[in-house]
A and B are shown apart, each in its own frame.
Chain A
């Protein structure tokens, strides 16, 4: 391989790995949220990642979870590079950056400000929310496909894997729910139903409506954060510049200008 193609394939691996890190609060990849502003592989293989959140005020514990996730995936890169991850324009950027570099834990970085925060509990809460949100997406699609509730709730993993969805988005959620299910219940048997409560209870047909209402509540909250974070990230540091007739920065802010294909480099 030429040097150029080595660096190209390393960069692709880097972005693929970064795409495995989710915003814990939103259950969406940080790369899709636009939080990774720059990720580059230098000639010597060294990696630099610039990270920027939607606001200066975003919760530092969430920031820490994401950066910790980034640290973990960078450790798995095939060429084991030296890397540097930098959080920009955040109220605790300095503390987080120096703490991260020294490999400190959240408690070490924030000292008494961290109080009794247990990141493990926080992680579990987020895992639960992700499980529920993904489950709702799949349940609703199966209903939309016209499957009777009884059949949906009776599905085992084999039947689940066989089910096909038309929408690309749903197909993605299907795989994501499968992953969340197996992570939550690693000891499950192949014949067990795939749709369970987070606590592992079976869902009777008569209780599906109430169950879906609960899942909807989880989604409404997550979507609010997601929409807000996307919007805020998109507009951060962009200012208004009105020019008559021509597309203005506002148009770019509001995504109203068709994107021209990027030149091939």
Chain B
């Protein structure tokens, strides 16, 4: 719960968090080393100084660190924890669903664990979706279209094999598909984070919600154009939001574009923990006002009501979180009492 300076309690759903192991012991090769190093560079490049972590902690933090940073020191009520396997880079995977489910079990009521699959695995991917639904009752998945798999260095959401998987997701009620569409890394001839495949998939799967993480940056205009046409496409703020510290005016321009094209009901807060911790992000977002000229240019506003939607109400809707019931359950949680 975030208590604003005015004394209002805001329900916070953190739409994008991780519990990874990028430690040298788990790295399989140079790619694994460079992958977590790249994350660490994001962390050091965009965090306020007082929020910086040592590298060894960043590579591998404990379940208690995670819980404390999100829910005790941090303002999150519920966190969606994403799975990213990267088994070509890490011996036990980077953050698998098993690892995430374990931490979710340890701290009940706090986490929504999302699965992941790779459509290039064909039949095995379909079996795996069944397994994740039966074992963990997942409501969402995280897709990482630039992940390597054998000779393949990426895939598209509208590949026929991917469509088979999404058909199954729809059938099983796994309705939230988070798609990593962020800064350009890895791709060679084609841009594996190009956003146009979202357009096809969102049109063809109207019953699924497509949450585009990092709002497609640096292809914000393409993303916005798709989001305005598809009612089931959402923008995840992870990675864009930390710019609120280093380049506030730039972040305001991004927000104005998102508010204009996607609208206030389709933007989701996400810290991208452990790259960033949620407390400072939520505080700054709450304190932020759109500069007058930017707001006027696009004819948009960022009111407290809109911020409340972005910080929790929108994600609660997608994940069927009953906020009043959840507040009660959290109030009786032994962990939050012990912590305070």
A positions within 8 Å CB-CB of B: 25, 54-62, 91, 110, 113-117, 213-214, 216-218, 220-225, 227-228, 231-232, 234-236, 238-240, 242, 250-251, 253-254, 256
Question: Within 8 Å CB of A238, what residues of B?
Answer: 44
Q: Is the CB of B220 within 8 A of A221?
A: yes
Q: Does B248 contact A (CB under 8 A)?
A: no
Contacts A/B (CB < 8 Å), 26 sampled: A57-B35, A59-B184, A59-B185, A61-B189, A110-B189, A117-B189, A214-B221, A216-B253, A217-B220, A217-B224, A220-B257, A222-B218, A223-B250, A224-B218, A224-B240, A224-B243, A225-B183, A227-B246, A227-B250, A228-B183, A231-B45, A231-B246, A232-B38, A239-B55, A250-B44, A250-B49
Chain B residue total in the interface (Cβ 8 A): 41
Most buried by A among B49, B53, B224: B49
Q: Is the CB of A114 within 8 A of B188?
A: yes
Smallest Cβ-Cβ distance to B44: which chain A residue: A235
Question: Within 8 Å CB of B231, what residues of A?
Answer: none
Question: Within 8 Å CB of B246, what residues of A?
Answer: 227, 231
Q: Does B190 contact A (CB under 8 A)?
A: yes
Smallest Cβ-Cβ distance to B298: which chain A residue: A213
Task: Give the 3 A-B residue pairs with the shortest CB-CB distance, closest first.
Answer: A231-B45, A217-B221, A57-B185
Q: In the assembly, what is the distance between CA of A131 and CA of B247, in Å? A: 24
Q: Is the CB of A240 within 8 A of B185?
A: no
Q: Is the CB of B218 within 8 A of A221?
A: yes
Question: Within 8 Å CB of A216, what residues of B?
Answer: 253, 257
State the main secondary structure of chain A at its contact with B.
Answer: helix
Q: Is the CB of A115 within 8 A of B189?
A: yes
Q: Is the CB of B190 within 8 A of A57?
A: no
Q: Is the CB of B219 within 8 A of A221?
A: yes
- Specify which of B34, B52, B188 is in contact with A61 (CB 8 Å cutoff): B188
Q: C-beta contact mask, B161-196 vs A, less than 8 Å → 1, else 0? A: 000000000000000000000011111111100000
Q: In the assembly, what is the distance between CA of A55 and CA of B34, in Å? A: 8
Q: Does B317 contact A (CB under 8 A)?
A: no
Q: Report the minimum CB–CB distance from A257 to chain B (whole Å).
A: 12
Q: In the assembly, what is the distance between CA of A223 and CA of B224, in Å? A: 17
Question: Within 8 Å CB of B254, what residues of A?
Answer: 220, 224
Q: In the assembly, what is the distance between CA of A224 and CA of B182, in Å? A: 10
- Specify which of A115, A217, A223 is in contact with B257 (CB 8 Å cutoff): A217
Q: Report the minimum CB–CB distance from A199 to chain B (whole Å).
A: 17
Q: Does B41 contact A (CB under 8 A)?
A: yes
Q: Does B103 contact A (CB under 8 A)?
A: no
Q: Does B46 contact A (CB under 8 A)?
A: yes
Smallest Cβ-Cβ distance to B50: which chain A residue: A250
Q: Report the minimum CB–CB distance from B95 to chain A (whole Å).
A: 18
Q: In the assembly, what is the distance between CA of A55 and CA of B246, in Å? A: 20
* 7 additional A-B residue pairs with CB within 8 Å, beyond A62-B184, A232-B38: A58-B184, A115-B188, A217-B221, A221-B220, A222-B218, A231-B45, A235-B41
